[in-house]
Chains A and B, each alone.
Chain A
Amino acid sequence: MTPGSDSRETRILAADDVRRALVRISHEIAERNPGLTDVVVIGMQSGGVWLSEEVVRLLAGMVPGVAVPHGVIDVSLYRDDISLRPVVPAAPSRVPVDLTGTTVILVDDVLFTGRTVRAALEALNDHGRPRAVQLAVMVDRGHRELPIRPDYVGKNVPTHVTDEVTAGPDGVLVMTSVVTPA
Chain B
Amino acid sequence: MRHLLDTADMDVPAISGLLDMADHMAEINTRAVPKVPALRGRTVASVFMEDSTRTRLSFETAAKRLSADVMTFSASTSSVNKGESLRDTIETLSAMGVDAFVVRHKSSGVPAAVTQWTDATVVNAGDGWHQHPTQGLLDAYTVTRSLGAGNSMSGLTVAIVGDVKHSRVARSTSDVFHRLGARVLLVGPATLMPSGHCGGPALPGTECAPDLDSVIGGVDVLYMLRMQRERMDSALVPDIAEYSCRFALTPERAKSLREGALVMHPGPMNRDVEMLVDPAMLPGSRILAQVSNGVSVRMAVLFTLLGGAPGGLVETR
Contacts and interface: CB of A to CB of B under 8 A. Distances in A.
Interface of A: 74, 76-78, 82-90, 92-94, 122-123, 126-127
Contact of A122 (B24, B37, B315, B316): B37
A87 B307 CA distance: 7
SS class, residues of chain B in contact with chain A: loop
A8 to B, nearest CB: 26
Contacts of B313: 86-88
Contacts, number: 55
A172 B205 CA distance: 50
Interface in B1-57: 17, 20-21, 23-24, 26-28, 31, 33, 35-39
B35 to A, nearest CB: 8
A143 to B, nearest CB: 22
B196 interface: no
A77 B308 contact: no
B309 interface: yes
SS class, residues of chain A in contact with chain B: loop
Contacts of B24: 74, 76-77, 89, 92-93
Contact of B38 (A82, A94, A127): A82
B36 A86 contact: no
A127 B27 CA distance: 12
Interface of B: 17, 20-21, 23-24, 26-28, 31, 33, 35-39, 66, 303, 307-310, 313, 315-317
Given A74-B24, A78-B37, A126-B36, A83 B309 contact: yes
Contacts of B26: 92
Nearest to A126: B33
A93 B21 CA distance: 12
Nearest to A84: B309
Given A86-B313, A90-B317, A92-B23, A78 B307 contact: no
A120 B307 CA distance: 18
Q: Which of A76, A77, A83, A93 has the most CB of B within 10 A?
A: A77
Given A88-B316, A92-B23, A122-B37, A83 B307 contact: yes
A87 B17 CA distance: 12
Contacts of A85: 308-309
Contacts of B35: 126
Nearest to B313: A86
B309 A77 contact: no
Contact of B315 (A74, A82, A88, A89): A88
B31 to A, nearest CB: 6
29 contacts: A76-B24, A76-B38, A77-B28, A77-B36, A77-B66, A77-B307, A78-B38, A82-B38, A82-B307, A83-B307, A83-B308, A86-B309, A86-B313, A86-B315, A87-B307, A87-B308, A87-B313, A88-B313, A88-B315, A88-B316, A88-B317, A89-B20, A89-B24, A90-B317, A92-B23, A92-B26, A93-B24, A123-B36, A126-B33
